[in-house]
Amino acid sequence: MNARTRLQNTLQRLALNEDLNFLLTNRVPRIALTRFMGRWSRIRHPWVRDLSMAIWKTFSDLNLSEARKTHFESLHDCFIRELKPGLRPIDARPGVLTSPSDGIVGAFGRIDSTPDGADAQLFQAKGFPYRLLDLLGDDARGRALAQQLQGGSFITLRLTSSMYHRFHAPCDATLEHVTYISGDTWNVNPIALKRVERLFCRNERAVLQLRRPDGGLLVLVPVAAILVASMRLRALDVPLNLRYRGPNQLPCAAHYRQGEEMGWFEHGSTILVLAPPGLEPAPGLSDGLRLRMGQALLQHSAAHTPTSPAPSP
């Protein structure tokens, strides 16, 4: 067998594996399976917990050595585990905004500019653009946010099932508003991102509108996925999940110091970080890079001079 034939066979096997992965994680009753998993993971029975965690460890690189607790009541208790103090130091250099979570860097770059921001685009994967407005919600608030964000930067952070699932403030900020958008639960792994158009715009998500001390905007969009359609925010007294249908607009006034916990996923998914002009990806950021919460993610552009606070939409 020559080298060309071996290469063709390898590519065929990879394509088959991708097809199987996509079928097993997407061509299933996603919402029903997600609801079942939500109930199952909360069962506080040692046999259920131990069997579930054994299966989880078999199919992932789960490492619990960083966990604050050494004993978990349920699978869900392990999913949302806290870490031992001091394991995620914060990069406190002036002008640096840090990663809100552990994660793997996906697509990132510039948000396209349009005259009114309505058709500004970003990418979920190469060749798969989507409209910023479709992600944020096509209403007055979404349009106002899109207008402020066009020409800025976006960074996609993917959380795997075994990662630390809590997310934190990238800088000193005030959480001014949350827009909750109910949706589907497509898998958000790289295979699905290359096959399902506008995937992030289809899935359940929350748009977190943050105001920085200099008056600038920062938007975080936690996106739910299969088995993961639930997230909690410390600023709200309701869980954001498939059973919560509104009200979609949730005003807030929660203040955070850089690195303070804002909330958590019930399992693992994706966080999109959207920044207006004046902020750019930190040096060394690359597709596939593994980041920990607290590491540099964005920085102020050298050409940017902070302006007076912009009015909230």
Backbone conformation region of residue 117, classed left if phi is above 0, alpha if psi is from -120 to 50, else beta: left
Q: Is 45 a catalytic residue?
A: no
Q: Is 168 a catalytic residue?
A: yes
Q: Is 308 a catalytic residue?
A: no
Give residues with Cβ within 8 angstroms of 94, minimum separation 6: none
* CA dist list (Å): 21 to 24, 126, 158, 194, 312: 5, 20, 17, 13, 42
Q: Which of 168, 177, 267, 300 is catalytic?
A: 168
Give residues with Cβ within 8 angstroms of 22, minimum separation 6: 187, 191, 192, 195
Q: Which of 52, 76, 102, 165 is catalytic?
A: 102
Single-letter residue type at 221: V
Q: Report the C-alpha gap between 221 and 179 in whole angstroms.
A: 9
Contact 75, 261 (CB under 8 A): no
Q: Which of 99, 101, 230, 269 is catalytic?
A: 269
**Sheet order of strands, 166-168 included:** 166-168, 261-265, 230-233, 240-241
Q: Which residues are catalytic?
A: 102, 168, 269
